[in-house]
């Protein structure tokens, strides 16, 4: 049996999540893709950076916007290993991300299909296309083993 | 008649909002207060910074966390001229802000008393005490005149 390979951006995001774990941060990774190429990436780093906003998505969005020289990432995709929280979903809307791909759902902190459901309100000025599930098992296992090791 | 004076942090936040307008950014300002002193402040600057996450609250939170050397702003207050959006409300929760003061409500983009109501879901791990309305008229007039001038 051949298991269908994960798309390259999600593999890249999973690699970034592993880097986060290696430096003691919750293993979540994200990349921004434009025209089929990864143009920015980041992982969770609030502890190391002394920055409560330093989630993977925020790091990737900030880097991509800096590179593209504007405040909007129109036509860009964001690939992330976990369902975004309210902060990151809001940032995705502000950045006008065209497509959001996330691997694992996050019933405890997610705000896309759970809780605040940020994209479902008229106060949210942009809603990306949303795809989930690719890489879910890998992403969830990274988080489980991180928290298991910390107990 | 003597009009009750605005608390100093809100006057400071309004000054920062005026600075934003002066550089062509939407006039919203925020400060962080710890033990009665303003320790950080910021204003909207997504255009100038090429950063869709550069809202006043995010700028103030990042500066305060950097100064205090941690990812949490326990015991701190955030004073902001407009009801926070979903991104900023999420950041306020992550930062463990103790008390949130905002001047004007934002029916079009707010996520505290409007829309996503970020603090009202179990996925939100921290809810600050929330006070609103002080400085509402001044904050709303700054925004109105900014958008009037742009038309």
Closest CA to A56 of B122, B53, B115: B53
Q: What is the mean pLDDT of chain A?
A: 96
Which of B57, B77, B83, B138 does the annotation list as catalytic?
B57
Confidence at residue A34, expressed as pLDDT on a 0 to 100 scale: 98
More confident: A35 or B151: A35
Q: What pLDDT digit, counting tens, does each position of A128-151 carry?
A: 999 999 999 999 999 999 999 887
Which domain does A126 fall in, by range? 102-131
Is position B59 within any domain?
yes
Predicted TM-score (pTM) of this structure: 0.97
Query: Annotated catalytic, B122?
Result: no
Which of A8, A25, A37, A57 does the annotation list as catalytic?
A57
- Give B107's contacts (C-beta < 8 A, 6+ positions apart): A123, B114
Distances (CA, A) of B110 to A71, B35, B114: 20, 28, 5
Q: What pLDDT digit, counting tens, does each position of B93-109 carry?
A: 999 999 999 999 999 99
* The pLDDT of residue A108 is above 90: yes
Give how many domains chain A has, as a whole number: 2
Q: What pLDDT digit, counting tens, does each position of B30-78 carry?
A: 999 999 999 999 999 999 999 999 999 999 999 999 999 999 999 999 9
Is position A83 within any domain?
no
Find chain B residues with C-beta within 8 A of A124's C-beta.
Answer: 86, 115-116
Q: Any known ligand binding at A55? A: yes
Is position B2 within any domain?
no
More confident: A4 or A111: A111
Q: What pLDDT digit, counting tens, does each position of B133-146 carry?
A: 999 999 999 999 99
Find chain A residues with C-beta within 8 A of B107's C-beta.
Answer: 123
Q: Where are the alpha helices (DSSP H) in A1-150?
A: 8-22, 46-49, 56-68, 86-94, 136-150
Contact B111, B84 (CB under 8 A): yes
Is position B125 within any domain?
yes
Q: What pLDDT digit, counting tens, does each position of B1-16 carry?
A: 677 789 999 999 999 9
Closest CA to A27 of A106, A114, A92: A106
Confidence at residue B4, expressed as pLDDT on a 0 to 100 scale: 75
Is the CB of B111 less than 8 angstroms away from the CB of A86?
yes
Residue B150's pLDDT band (cuts 50, 70, 90): confident
């Amino acid at each position: 049996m051949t298991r269908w390979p994960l798309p390259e951006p999600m593999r890249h995001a999973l690699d970034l999540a592993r880097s986060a774990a290696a430096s003691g941060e919750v293993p979540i990774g994200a990349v921004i893709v434009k025209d089929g190429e990864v143009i920015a990436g980041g992982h969770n780093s609030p502890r190391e950076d002394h920055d409560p906003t330093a989630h993977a998505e925020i790091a990737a969005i900030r880097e991509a916007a800096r590179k593209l020289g504007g405040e909007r990432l129109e036509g860009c995709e964001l690939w992330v290993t976990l369902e975004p929280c309210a902060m990151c979903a809001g940032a995705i809307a502000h950045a006008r991300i065209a497509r959001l791909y996330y691997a694992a759902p996050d019933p405890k902190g997610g705000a896309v299909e759970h809780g605040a459901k940020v994209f479902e309100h008229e106060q949210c000025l942009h809603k990306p296309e949303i795809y989930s599930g690719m890489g879910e098992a890998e992403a969830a296992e990274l988080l489980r083993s991180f928290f298991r090791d910390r107990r």
